[in-house]
Structure 1
Amino acid sequence: MGAYKVKKIGIFYKDEPYLSEVAREIEKYLLKKGIEVYKNGDLEKISDGKDSVVLSLGGDGTFLGASRIAMNIGAAVLGINLGNLGFLTDVEGMDVFIAIEKLLKGEFTVEERLALTAIVNGEEALEFSGINDFVIMKHIEDKILKIDVAINGLKAGKFRCDGAVVSTATGSTAYALSVGGPVIAPQVNVYELSFIAPHKLSARPLVLGELDKLEIEIESQGNFVFLRDGLKVLDLKMFDRIEFRKNEKNLKIAHIRGKNFFEVLNKKFGWGS
């Protein structure tokens, strides 16, 4: 997807002194350029995301939060790495104003990626959008988690494990990678199911197509937790059922320069070194 004329810019960041100061400097710079600026709680006020970009100031966790908001309003998100790893971010902190100038000149591209929707027990109020992954896991003190897995309405198998990770291609380099899932190139519109400490050697990760619907039902007693992009959203119990499918909206990521996914994979994770 090509660039467009940016008229509105949102700034998303954690409420910390340094990040707040950076956000204020960016806001002053943009206002002098005649750009509408929205920060944190005001981002939802952006009426038309088609001419907007949300700047994420921080690391990958901040980027995920900014991405969910940007996706909801139809804007692209640009990650400014002011955190630690910065695998998902596009620009290093020292280059922030150079990047903004390129945005305003239209010198950027927009990449679209698949995101996920999870619905718990078919309740609309318990519907969540995920950028990286969803995780179902047991508490440390609880017994093993038993789950029943169905794909497109057909029973696929029963598994005993400590948890399950349902990940997008974007999230394939996060929790899913640590439990043995494959690295998936971000432009591939698939998602994957991986298991945490499974009790069968045959419980291997499974890659699903973008049109596939995955259902997981809990079949064991105990207290379980449901995470979205690394953050807890609710507790789960026996007989709870979670449906996963492609989100109706794609995540849009703005790139200032030709970012090579495999080069970043090598630099940040040492893949191929």
Structure 2
Amino acid sequence: MLEEMYLTAIGVIMNEEKPQAHEVARKMAQWLSARGIQMGIPLTKVTELVNSTSHELTQKLEKLDFVVVLGGDGTLLNTARLMAPFQVPLLGVNLGRLGFLTEIEEHDLFPALDQVIAGNYTIEERMMLQAHIISEEGASPIFYALNDVVVTKGANPRMLRVEAFVDDELVATYSSDGLIVASPTGSTAYSMSAGGPIVSPDLQAMIMTPICPHSLDARPLVISQNKVIHVTVRSPYVDGLVTVDGQPGRPLRWGESVYIQKASVTCSLIKIKNRSFFRILHEKMQQGRI
């Protein structure tokens, strides 16, 4: 449960593209101020965090006790990657369409904050992925994903040919539109759309799912958390494109590889409602919204 210090330094991060986000954020700032609760950072747009290299901002993020995320699942994914090195818990408020990852709806925000103040909540740790690219220039910095790391062919109409290895042992060579490596949380996202299995988020595993493979025997694989997956492009005329949680990607050229494994950090989600993953899954399936 949250200790008293959690009420002294919280952050509010919003998706500025959501029309109601600014008004909700303003009301929340007033609500916190009336209770003497300090905002560890000013009301912050998620794009400002993505683009910021400010050392001062980084120091403030390190000191936050938790973050309220105003947006949809995409905003929460962006915030999860940014906050992963700091291990700061997140409370997701759905202002979007899906709301599979976010904990509460807009109308529940202030009752939910009262619950947090009273200590009536739990923390759910979600496994994340970490990845880096190996090219002629060497290794890239590590980047984190809550949902998935994907190698696709981009806009090229030709198929992409990739080799997939697990602990340096060749598993398969795929001619396809690409390959998804998902966390259990990401199993209900792109991987599911490509025919991958739904995996309970409390498991520690990775799911490797080919996208539109040109083969009848290409099937998704569930792989141990202790393994390292690496995907190497073997298309001389088609570059791959690496994307993380659906964000703009980086080209992956012939012979270059992306290495993916369980991250050394997790995403901490504040849970207030007593809803299991399977209840949420049933609700979303009934609504046709995942």
User: Residues 54 and 70 of structure 1 are in contact (CA less than 8 Å); yes or no, is this contact kept in structure 2?
Assistant: no
Equivalence for 1:82: 95
TM-score w.r.t. structure 1 length?
0.92
Q: Which moved more, 1:140-149 or 1:249-258?
A: 140-149
User: Residues 116 and 131 of structure 1 are in contact (CA less than 8 Å); yes or no, is this contact kept in structure 2?
Assistant: yes
Equivalence for 1:24: 26
Residues 1:138 and 2:153 are matched in the alignment: yes
Residues 1:214 and 2:216 are matched in the alignment: no
| Correspondence list, 1:190-229, <5 A | 190-221=205-236, 222-229=238-245
Letter in 1 for 2:24: V
Residues 1:245 and 2:261 are matched in the alignment: yes
Measure the CA separation in 1 of the matches of 2:225 and 2:283: 29
Letter in 2 for 1:61: G
Compute the RMSD of aligned alpha carbons.
1.9
Residues 1:174 and 2:175 are matched in the alignment: no
Measure the CA separation in 1 of the matches of 2:157 and 2:142: 26
Residues 1:269 and 2:271 are matched in the alignment: no
Residues 1:15 and 2:16 are matched in the alignment: yes
Measure the CA separation in 1 of the matches of 2:204 and 2:13: 27
User: Residues 151 and 214 of structure 1 are in contact (CA less than 8 Å); yes or no, is this contact kept in structure 2?
Assistant: yes
Letter in 1 for 2:38: E
Distance 1:131 1:195, change over 3 A: same
User: Residues 90 and 259 of structure 1 are in contact (CA less than 8 Å); yes or no, is this contact kept in structure 2?
Assistant: no
Measure the CA separation in 2 of the matches of 1:254 and 1:244: 26
- CA shift at 1:262, angstroms? 0.8
User: 3-state SS of the aligned residue for 1:270?
Assistant: helix
Cα deviation digits, residues 191-223 of structure 1 (max 9, x gap): 110000011121111111111100110000223
Residues 1:54 and 2:67 are matched in the alignment: yes
User: Residues 123 and 268 of structure 2 are in contact (CA less than 8 Å); yes or no, is this contact kept in structure 1?
Assistant: yes
Distance 1:159 1:271, change over 3 A: farther
List runs of 5+ in structure 2 lacking aligned partners: 50-56
- CA shift at 1:268, angstroms? 1.0
Specify which of 106, 129, 132 is matched with residue 93 of structure 1: 106
Q: Which moved more, 1:65-74 or 1:101-110?
A: 65-74
Measure the CA separation in 1 of the matches of 2:123 and 2:256: 38
- CA shift at 1:127, angstroms? 2.2
- CA shift at 1:233, angstroms? 2.6
Cα deviation digits, residues 154-181 of structure 1 (max 9, x gap): 2222111110011000010000000110
Distance 1:203 1:262, change over 3 A: same
Percent identity of equivalent pairs: 31
Letter in 1 for 2:21: L
Measure the CA separation in 2 of the matches of 1:125 and 1:250: 21
- CA shift at 1:141, angstroms? 3.1
User: Residues 132 and 167 of structure 1 are in contact (CA less than 8 Å); yes or no, is this contact kept in structure 2?
Assistant: yes
TM-score w.r.t. structure 2 length?
0.87
Equivalence for 1:69: 82
User: Residues 84 and 144 of structure 2 are in contact (CA less than 8 Å); yes or no, is this contact kept in structure 1?
Assistant: no
Cα deviation digits, residues 64-93 of structure 1 (max 9, x gap): 112122322211111101110101111011
User: Residues 149 and 158 of structure 1 are in contact (CA less than 8 Å); yes or no, is this contact kept in structure 2?
Assistant: yes
Letter in 2 for 1:57: L
Q: Which moved more, 1:204-213 or 1:38-47?
A: 38-47
User: Residues 265 and 271 of structure 1 are in contact (CA less than 8 Å); yes or no, is this contact kept in structure 2?
Assistant: no
Instruction: Tell me the matched-pair count.
Output: 269
User: Residues 233 and 240 of structure 2 are in contact (CA less than 8 Å); yes or no, is this contact kept in structure 1?
Assistant: no
Equivalence for 2:123: 110
Measure the CA separation in 2 of the matches of 1:60 and 1:227: 17
Measure the CA separation in 1 of the matches of 2:144 and 2:13: 18
Letter in 2 for 1:82: L
